[in-house]
Amino acid sequence: MTTTDIREQLHAQIDNLPADIVEQIADFTLFVMSRRQIAPLYADWRQTEWQTFVLEQFFHDEDDVTYSLADAREIYHP
């Protein structure tokens, strides 16, 4: 199995995991990167980039529930 195959399988598995497990995976990834002194790719994301990322996760295509932007605004209070 090639590295590309492993990455694709891992990505597919992560896409189907609950958010709390994805957060744990992200924390572990940061831990491993820190031990190898690799800077995280999103360390210098601006607030707008984080907001875009969060909205993409909120409106994920495989979600069984339909949300609107108004729903997101109702829940998120900066």
The one-character DSSP state at 57 is H
pTM of the model: 0.48
Residues 6+ apart with CB under 8 A from 54: none
- How many residues are recorded in the chain? 78
Please tell me which residue, 43 or 74, carries the higher pLDDT value: 74
Q: Pinpoint the alpha helices (H) of the chain.
A: 3-15, 19-35, 47-58, 69-75
Section 6-21 average pLDDT: 87
Confidence of residue 28 (pLDDT cuts 50, 70, 90): confident
pLDDT per residue as tens digits for the range 30-62: 788 888 887 766 656 666 766 677 767 666 666
Confidence of residue 3 (pLDDT cuts 50, 70, 90): confident
Q: What percent of the chain has pLDDT over 90?
A: 1
